[in-house]
Structure 1
């Protein structure tokens, strides 16, 4: 996880009843990314580029999608 302030077990207690939050929190093992992790910025930039170039386009039919998948295998 990144170091955003909502990524803590305290946020579970805001979203759920105490018993449910405690049960969920006991199952979690949270590992935060280092603050200096430059790879995270690179990954976020790449996801942004992909979403603008690829995900914004719609595929007109399932047939076209499958035929393109087969063609590029």
Structure 2
């Protein structure tokens, strides 16, 4: 969903005012952190999807909170035993 030009201009103006003395080259530290977080989130979601075998986490939780809690507890035990 694209923003209208006036809203985009307002966002850029606000960002430039709040940026302070951070040089544009320093933004890479923040951007790389966000990209790494996105990468980890996608990996975690892929792993969780494979463990749930077609179900979604929210559907498991809504249908049976005990099953979801047991699944989580089992995964914690598996992770602890591999250390």
Q: Which TM class, normalised by the smaller chain length?
A: 0.3 to 0.5
Structure with more contact order per residue of length (Cα contacts < 8 Å, sep ≥ 6): 1
Q: TM-score, normalised by structure 2?
A: 0.38
Greater Rg, structure 1 or structure 2? 2
Q: Which structure has greater helix proportion?
A: 2
Give the TM-score normalised by the residue count of structure 1: 0.42
